[in-house]
Amino acid sequence: MSRPDVRTDLEQVFRSHYARVVAVAARVLGSRDQAEDVAQEVFLSFGRSTVPAGEAGGWLTVAATHTALNLLRSGRRRTAREEAADDGPSVVPDVADLVVTREERSAVRAALARLPHRQAAALVLRHSGLSYAEVATALELSPGSVGTTVRRAESVLLKELNRHASPE
Amino acid sequence: MRHPSEGVLRRLVDEPSGVTADDRAHIASCSTCLPALDTARAEARLVGAALATSTTVDTDAAWARFTTSDTATAPAPRPVIAAPGRGRWRPALRRPVVAALSAVVLVAGAGVAAANDWLPIFRTEQVDPVEVSTGDLVALPDLSAYGDVEVLQAPDPVQVADADAARERTGLDVPEVAALPDGVTGNPSYQAAGVVSGTFTFSADKAARAAAADGQALPPVPAGLDGTSLRLQAGPGVAAVWSQPTGVPTLVVARVVAPTVDASGGVDFETVRDYILSLPGVPDALSDQLRDLSKDGGTLPLPVPAALVTTSTADVDGVAATVLTSRNGLFAGVVWVEDGVMTGVAGSLSAEELLSVARGLR
């Protein structure tokens, strides 16, 4: 059986987008190691696809979001205890004045796993930098409903954060 | 005065240009909306912080891992069929779902799932796909609405250490794959399930209540049907599952003893089947397809989601097999029945690769 070649733009797309794809998956999973596994799988799918390189960024972001959410819900992720052992400090590096404890982050991800898939995906895609129009296209939402969907998801997660808030 | 929705406020946080000038003007001067906008902004920031994770990556090392894994070095195995519709980002996204579905098709279709499943009422001598949409799958009637279901024996599916343990538990040999396709690596996990059996006793009273709940009258019940029992039995079954690190199956090879059914109480099986198919709640299209199946109940209908999968037939060592291919080209399955034993090969591979696996099973 003859086979077509690996797509020639794969390495360039991989190098351009790998860090971002890991970050998207880590936003869902809270674990870099698992996020890298998801990224490998997503690039494998991309390598088999005919998605134009120009659309790779959006495609990979959406693919990473869905794959990571499926993993989060599947119960196959490692226990919180295992994650805590290899995760870094709990201070969010890019938001210096906000300190979110490990327990709070874990609670937020548990809440994320319980959200309806599309609502969770909209939240993650928006926080991963996709525009409202792109989120609407990817999830087959009406553009006008993206804000409402994201806002509701944030409210649910905020409730979890407040429930686990530090006593101080 | 109409205030813009919370969705509009939320968009204003991220994309002011996406909000109409009228709404922006209103919010800027509204004592209700301004605090709500501040709250939306603060909460978005907090959630963003909670989701942020430190991810310094080594792209060179990641690329090396990608290119040295057997999975990635395999050339693109097939052209991907574009998904219909506008969701151009969707093709790969459905793969885990479809792959998971494949396991359901193989396992539930083979009858090692719950005894009150719709499928095991058909004796299996050949496999014909029955196209149903995902909506139909969800809407398949639970037989317990039309009678009493009693599980006599549970299958107790478990993961076992190896093929020998699977054989010891079930008496079935796990089909041995002669050569793994490119992209499938590592050792499989083995699943084994015992015999599942149960009885379904038709109750005209229950069926009438179910019909009434659906706003419909129960079709006339054939004489002797009320109280008739079907005894359902399926299994045992074994499966070997190769997975990616994230748990998504790449290749599943399964073998199960196909379901059988016995009717008692003086009414033949076809009468029971046809009557159940005529009950309210069964989609018309699905009923028609089921009616087309062989009269002796010798066909196992597979719940194939028509929106995702196309079907064809192929020859596997002289036996007619059903080939299922996802419309996005990323998943396929091959299923056949021989001497009352159903064998299935499925995964995120091309139909060609799976047929090659199927024909090489030992």
Kindly report, residue by residue over B45-56, the tens digit of the pLDDT: 888 888 887 778
Average pLDDT, chain B: 69
What pLDDT does B331 receive? Answer: 66
Token pair belonging to B146: 């039309």
What pLDDT does B37 receive? Answer: 92
Please, are residues A43 and A14 in contact by the beta-carbon 8 Å criterion?
A: yes
Nearest CA-CA distance, residue A79 and chain B, Å: 14
Confidence of residue B31 (pLDDT cuts 50, 70, 90): very high
Between B337 and B80, the more confident residue is B337
Between B97 and B345, the more confident residue is B345
d(C-alpha A91, C-alpha A97), whole Å: 9
Sequence-distant (≥ 6) Cβ neighbours of residue B260 within 8 angstroms: B123, B124, B232, B233, B234, B340
- Contact residues on chain B for A43, CB-CB shorter than 8 A: 66, 72
Between B327 and B313, the more confident residue is B313
**Closest Cβ–Cβ partner in A35, A100, A145 for B55:** A35
- Rounded to an integer, the average pLDDT of B284-309 is 50
What pLDDT does A130 receive? Answer: 87
Contact between chains at A76 and B246 (C-beta distance less than 8 A): yes
Please, are residues A69 and A116 in contact by the beta-carbon 8 Å criterion?
A: no
Q: Which CATH architecture has domain A10-88+95-163?
A: Up-down Bundle (1.20)
Between B331 and B120, the more confident residue is B331
The rounded average pLDDT for each run of 10 residues, N- to C-terminus, in chain A (168 residues) is 62 94 93 89 82 83 87 60 40 45 78 89 92 85 90 90 62
Please check the confidence at residue B27 and state whether its pLDDT lies above 80. Answer: yes
Please check the confidence at residue B127 and state whether its pLDDT lies above 90. Answer: no
Please, are residues B207 and B278 in contact by the beta-carbon 8 Å criterion?
A: no
Please, are residues B235 and B262 in contact by the beta-carbon 8 Å criterion?
A: no
Token pair belonging to B98: 């479809």
What pLDDT does A124 receive? Answer: 95
What pLDDT does A123 receive? Answer: 96
What pLDDT does B106 receive? Answer: 36
Between B34 and A80, the more confident residue is B34
Asked casually if ipTM beats, i.e. exceeds, 0.85, the reply is: no
What pLDDT does B62 receive? Answer: 92
Contact between chains at A93 and B55 (C-beta distance less than 8 A): no
Between B293 and B176, the more confident residue is B176
Q: For residue range B236-271, what is the model confidence (pLDDT) as tens digits?
A: 788 888 876 655 567 888 887 766 666 666 677 677
**Closest Cβ–Cβ partner in A59, A92, A145 for B7:** A145
Residue A120 near chain B (CB below 8 Å): no
Distance from chain centroid for Cα A158: 18
Query: Which of residues 125 through 144 in chain A touch B, CB cutoff 8 A?
Result: 126-127, 131-133, 137-138, 140, 144
Contact between chains at A123 and B47 (C-beta distance less than 8 A): yes
Residues, chain A, total? 168
